[in-house]
């Protein structure tokens, strides 16, 4: 019962985080959005550590760090594909893959077994996730091949995060999540720095060409950028808005991950993972309300099936 409650609640909160992350990635780069979100998340978790507690052991620190590397790949791909859009299809695609990977691990490697209602609930949940992302109407927006491949890769990595975090002990509390967010932030800021260095080097080469043209052919009207490479004033509001959205995303994402961690520890990995995969519901509803993206009738049916599956899994 607790697994179903924690996991489904965490999924809805996670969907809101994905929506905020997708909006942030439209205003700033997906790398920067992920880095800022991870940093704000680890700050929140560190503040919550005295309240929630947790033991620091080499085993839990290692698996927390591994989950951070895998999760970093998954979340970066997720935000990037959500920025491409449409959110209402790519988010559920990621969710299906992210559910299948840990379910197979739990059943094959972990030896998890359920009663008949449990297996029916797992199957119904996967169907629900597929229906939520299915848009059959004529003229509906279809995702690009690039977006689909990124969504599948993201789902596989997120599934790996579930498996890695499941290896940690109950006594570790939220310590693995702190390592997860910390490693995520370090990797993403390193990636941002590399991209910035490459961009700066490219800009210097362009200015060198422009300066050479201005000296040898003054009539061409080619001059160096008067801004000195600084960000145009018009772009600053978008950057500030993107940063704010990324910070909010990190806070919401850390909360969702804590709920999902509690769900995993309260019961079976398979149940927690498949219910956690319901997060597209939150993303889709917010996308419909804020971005006016269309929700097809079959998607509403998927949401109803998702609730039914959650009830069946709560009884499993």
Q: Is the pLDDT of residue 51 over 50?
A: yes
Q: Among residues 191, 155, 244, 200, which one has the least CA distance to residue 35?
A: 191
Distance of CA 259 to the CA centre of its chain: 15
150 is written with which tokens? 């990124």
Task: State the Cα–Cα distance between residues 85 and 22, nearest whole angstrom.
Answer: 9
In this prediction, residue 225 has a pLDDT band, given cuts at 50, 70 and 90, of very low
106 vs 45, which has greater pLDDT?
45
H/E segment holding residue 141: none
Buried b (16+ CB within 10 A) or exposed e, 89-112: bbbbbbbbbbbbbbbebbbeebeb
Residue bearing tokens 């559910």: 99
The whole-number pLDDT of residue 168 equals 93
In this prediction, residue 219 has a pLDDT band, given cuts at 50, 70 and 90, of very low
Q: In sequence order, which ranges of 108-233 are alpha helices (DSSP H)?
A: 116-132, 145-166, 175-216
166 vs 206, which has greater pLDDT?
166
Q: Is the pLDDT of residue 134 over 80?
A: no
Q: Is the pLDDT of residue 138 over 60?
A: no
Q: Is the pLDDT of residue 227 over 70?
A: no
Task: State the Cα–Cα distance between residues 95 and 227, nearest whole angstrom.
Answer: 44
The whole-number pLDDT of residue 16 equals 87
Task: State the Cα–Cα distance between residues 246 and 195, nearest whole angstrom.
Answer: 18
Q: Is the pLDDT of residue 313 over 90?
A: no
Q: Is the pLDDT of residue 215 over 60?
A: no
Per residue in 257-284, pLDDT (tens digit) is 899 899 888 888 888 888 888 777 777 7
Highest-pLDDT range among 65-79, 131-145, 179-193: 179-193
The whole-number pLDDT of residue 224 equals 41
The whole-number pLDDT of residue 248 equals 93
168 is written with which tokens? 């940690």
The whole-number pLDDT of residue 133 equals 62
The whole-number pLDDT of residue 276 equals 81
The whole-number pLDDT of residue 136 equals 53
Buried b (16+ CB within 10 A) or exposed e, 129-167: bbbbbbbeeeeeeebeeebbebbbbbbbbbbbbbbbbbe
Average pLDDT over residues 248-252: 93
| CB-based contacts of 265-268 (< 8 A; 24+ apart in sequence) | 265/170, 266/2, 266/3, 266/6, 267/2, 267/3, 267/4, 268/3, 268/106, 268/110, 268/112, 268/114
Query: In sequence order, what are the residues at sequence separation of 6 or more whose Cβ sits closer than 8 angstroms to the Cβ of residue 41?
Result: 181, 184, 185, 250, 251, 253, 254, 257
Residue 214 burial (CB < 10 Å; 0-12/13-18/19+)? middle
What are the extents of the domains in the chain?
Answer: 2-186+230-315
The whole-number pLDDT of residue 174 equals 92
121 is written with which tokens? 């609930």
The predicted model scores a pTM of 0.75
Task: State the Cα–Cα distance between residues 158 and 68, nearest whole angstrom.
Answer: 10
The whole-number pLDDT of residue 301 equals 84
Task: State the Cα–Cα distance between residues 307 and 124, nearest whole angstrom.
Answer: 10
The whole-number pLDDT of residue 192 equals 86
In this prediction, residue 214 has a pLDDT band, given cuts at 50, 70 and 90, of low
Highest-pLDDT range among 89-93, 153-157, 219-223: 153-157
């Amino acid at each position: 019962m607790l697994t179903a409650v924690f996991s489904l609640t965490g999924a809805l909160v996670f969907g809101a985080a994905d929506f905020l992350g997708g909006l942030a990635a439209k205003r700033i780069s997906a790398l920067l959005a992920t880095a800022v979100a991870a940093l704000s998340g680890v700050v929140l978790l560190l503040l919550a550590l005295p309240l929630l507690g947790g033991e620091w052991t080499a085993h839990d620190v290692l698996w927390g760090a591994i989950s951070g590397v895998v999760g970093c790949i998954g979340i970066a791909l997720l935000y990037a594909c959500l920025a491409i859009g449409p959110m209402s299809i790519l988010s559920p695609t990621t969710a299906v893959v992210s559910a299948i990977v840990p379910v197979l691990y739990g059943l094959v490697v972990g030896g998890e077994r359920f009663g008949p209602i449990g297996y029916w609930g797992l199957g119904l949940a996967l169907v629900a996730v597929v229906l939520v992302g299915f848009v059959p109407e004529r003229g509906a927006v279809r995702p690009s091949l690039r977006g689909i491949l990124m969504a599948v890769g993201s789902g596989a990595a997120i599934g790996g995060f579930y498996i890695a975090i499941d290896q940690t002990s109950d006594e570790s509390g939220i310590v693995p999540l702190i390592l997860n967010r910390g490693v995520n932030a370090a990797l993403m800021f390193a990636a941002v720095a590399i991209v910035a260095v490459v961009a700066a080097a490219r800009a210097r080469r362009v200015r060198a060409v422009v300066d050479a043209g201005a000296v040898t052919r003054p009539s061409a009207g080619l001059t160096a950028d008067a801004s000195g490479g600084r960000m145009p004033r018009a772009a600053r509001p978008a950057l500030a808005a993107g940063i704010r959205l990324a910070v909010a995303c990190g806070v919401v994402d850390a909360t969702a991950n804590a709920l999902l961690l509690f769900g995993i520890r309260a019961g079976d990995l398979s149940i927690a993972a498949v219910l956690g995969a319901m997060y597209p519901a939150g993303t889709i509803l917010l996308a419909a309300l804020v971005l006016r993206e269309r929700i097809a009738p079959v998607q509403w049916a998927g949401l109803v099936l998702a609730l039914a599956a959650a009830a069946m899994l709560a009884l499993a």
